């Protein structure tokens, strides 16, 4: 904890201290599209980051967040930042796995199943992710994990056989493949449309964190949440490289300081939020429990298949990341 605290205070000092030297040049405004609801902790962390930058630069760079896909829809955000339609934005990393399998590193089932594992996997993968984004005119600013992913249903499920034919909300390549391997029917649905999809029967199940279910009040349509700790996906905030180069050093240092603080705070908030949201699902009538042995073992076998497929798709980079990650756990 001590090094974290030092890191946090350093980041804050950088953000505020360098902001004072930013000078009185022309003020600039950056609109920041985000896919999730304003009440979601990722969006709240993003709003705090934006305020930190605006305050730290003395208003020289003002960042304004636009949650719930209100400026660009979730699946449009990365492209918008890449092409300069927006200078900065936040998106789910694994949503781009079909573009490059490396972006699915945090969604390989049962590879990293705890916050500590997820932090180590991110440490191993980050240099490769940064290099990949650089080639796309993008720079990674910070990244925050989601709580562990569990399975939501509107019925009791004790084995993979019970999932057959269920309409399943998919949001990336990994979830679509999970549906295929369990006999469910994948339906592509963005986070902002979840409540409506369940209410109208377009979807009947999903793999997601307790926080998404809680934010979207899924107890209005679904009945069961099984804790399987499948993976901990990450959201990431990225900046258009040209927009970044257009900032002076003082402003950039404030942004980096605020980003370090956001990653630190967001990661802790994810941990705190995990139990809070599971309790919230229970309080609203959902049955929240660990998956039974049969289901757990069957899902782990599917996880092995998906890990092998991911490693094959990514090649040497993927093997190096997994090897480095597994070495950290020893």
CB contact at 8 A, 170 and 187: yes
Q: If pLDDT is split at 50, 70 and 90, which confidence band does 23 have?
A: very low
Please tell me the distance from the alpha carbon of residue 49 to that of residue 46, in angstroms, as a whole number. Answer: 5
Q: How long, in residues, is the chain?
A: 330
Is a pLDDT exceeding 90 seen at residue 38?
Answer: yes
Would you call 247 helix, strand, or coil by DSSP?
coil
Mean pLDDT of 190-210: 93
pLDDT at 6: 43
In total, how many domains does the chain have? 2
Is a pLDDT exceeding 70 seen at residue 220?
Answer: yes
- Residue corresponding to tokens 């896909």: 69
Would you call 330 helix, strand, or coil by DSSP?
coil
Same domain, 269 and 191: no
Q: Any residues with CB less than 8 A from the CB of 276 and at least 6 apart, and which?
A: 214
- The C-alpha torsion from 268 through 65 and 33 to 39, rounded to 10°, is 50
Partners of 205 in beta bridges: 168
Same domain, 140 and 155: no
Q: Any residues with CB less than 8 A from the CB of 160 and at least 6 apart, and which?
A: 182, 183, 295, 298, 299, 302
Q: If pLDDT is split at 50, 70 and 90, which confidence band does 10 have?
A: low
pLDDT at 21: 45
Same domain, 115 and 259: yes
pLDDT at 5: 47
Domain span including residue 132: 2-100+107-146+234-275
The C-alpha angle 240, 241, 243, rounded to 5 degrees, equals 65
pLDDT at 92: 95
Same domain, 183 and 199: yes
List, for residues 281-292, the tens digit of each pLDDT value: 999 999 999 999
pLDDT at 190: 84
Backbone angles phi, psi at 231, to 5 degrees: -165, 170
Please tell me the distance from the alpha carbon of residue 322 to that of residue 307, in angstroms, as a whole number. Answer: 10
Same domain, 45 and 168: no
Mean pLDDT of 277-282: 97
Same domain, 269 and 289: no
What percent of the chain clears pLDDT 90, i.e. is strictly above it?
86
Same domain, 127 and 269: yes
pLDDT at 171: 85
Is a pLDDT exceeding 90 seen at residue 192?
Answer: no
Please tell me the distance from the alpha carbon of residue 120 to that of residue 131, in angstroms, as a whole number. Answer: 18
List, for residues 159-186, the tens digit of each pLDDT value: 999 999 999 999 888 999 999 999 999 9
Same domain, 123 and 62: yes
Residue 61 has which token pair? 């760079």
Same domain, 23 and 56: yes
pLDDT at 101: 95
List, for residues 61-109, the tens digit of each pLDDT value: 999 999 999 999 999 999 999 999 999 999 999 999 989 999 999 999 9
Same domain, 257 and 309: no
Pairing relationship of beta strands 234-240 and 138-145 according to DSSP bridges:
antiparallel
- Residue corresponding to tokens 């979840």: 194
Same domain, 154 and 266: no
Q: What is the CATH number of the domain that holds 220?
A: 3.40.190.170
- The number of beta carbons lying within 10 Å of the beta carbon of residue 200 is 10
pLDDT at 321: 96
The answer to which of 9-13, 108-112, 205-209, 269-273 has the lowest mean pLDDT is 9-13
List, for residues 46-56, the tens digit of each pLDDT value: 999 999 999 99
pLDDT at 25: 53
Same domain, 75 and 204: no
Is a pLDDT exceeding 50 seen at residue 135?
Answer: yes
pLDDT at 15: 47
CB contact at 8 A, 226 and 295: yes
Q: If pLDDT is split at 50, 70 and 90, which confidence band does 191 have?
A: confident
Range list of H helices, the chain = 2-19, 41-56, 77-82, 115-134, 173-182, 194-199, 210-215, 241-245, 249-283, 293-314, 316-328
pLDDT at 90: 98
Backbone angles phi, psi at 145, to 5 degrees: -80, 155
The answer to which of 57-61, 120-124, 192-196 has the lowest mean pLDDT is 192-196
């Amino acid at each position: 904890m001590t090094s974290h605290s030092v890191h946090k205070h350093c980041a804050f000092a950088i953000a505020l201290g360098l902001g004072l030297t930013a000078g009185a040049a022309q003020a600039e405004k950056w609109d920041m599209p985000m896919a999730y609801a304003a009440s979601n902790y990722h969006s709240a962390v993003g709003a705090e980051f934006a305020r930190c930058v605006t305050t730290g630069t003395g208003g020289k760079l003002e960042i304004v967040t636009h949650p719930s896909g209100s400026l660009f829809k979730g699946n449009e955000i990365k492209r918008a930042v890449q092409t300069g339609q927006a200078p900065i934005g936040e998106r789910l990393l694994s949503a781009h796995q079909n573009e490059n399998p490396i972006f699915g590193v945090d969604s390989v089932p049962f590879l990293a199943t705890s916050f500590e594992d997820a932090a180590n996997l991110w440490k191993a993968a980050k240099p490769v992710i940064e290099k990949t984004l650089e080639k796309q005119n993008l720079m990674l600013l910070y990244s925050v994990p989601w709580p562990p992913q569990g399975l939501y249903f509107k019925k009791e499920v004790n084995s993979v056989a019970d999932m057959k034919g269920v309409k399943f909300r998919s949001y990336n390549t990994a979830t679509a493949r999970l549906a295929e391997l369990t006999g469910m029917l994948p339906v592509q649905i963005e986070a902002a449309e979840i409540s409506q999809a369940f209410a109208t029967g377009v979807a009947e199940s999903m793999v997601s964190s307790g926080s998404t279910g809680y934010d979207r009040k899924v107890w209005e349509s679904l009945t069961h949440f099984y804790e399987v700790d499948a993976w901990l996906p990450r959201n990431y905030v990225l900046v258009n490289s040209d927009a970044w180069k257009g900032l002076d050093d003082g402003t950039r240092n404030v942004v980096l300081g605020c980003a370090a603080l956001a990653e630190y705070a967001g990661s802790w908030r994810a941990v705190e939020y995990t139990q809070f949201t599971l309790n919230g699902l229970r309080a609203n009538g959902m049955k929240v429990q660990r998956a039974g042995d049969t289901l757990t073992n069957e899902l782990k076998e599917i996880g092995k298949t998906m890990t092998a497929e991911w490693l094959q798709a990514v090649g040497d980079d993927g093997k190096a990341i997994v090897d480095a990650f597994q070495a950290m756990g020893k």
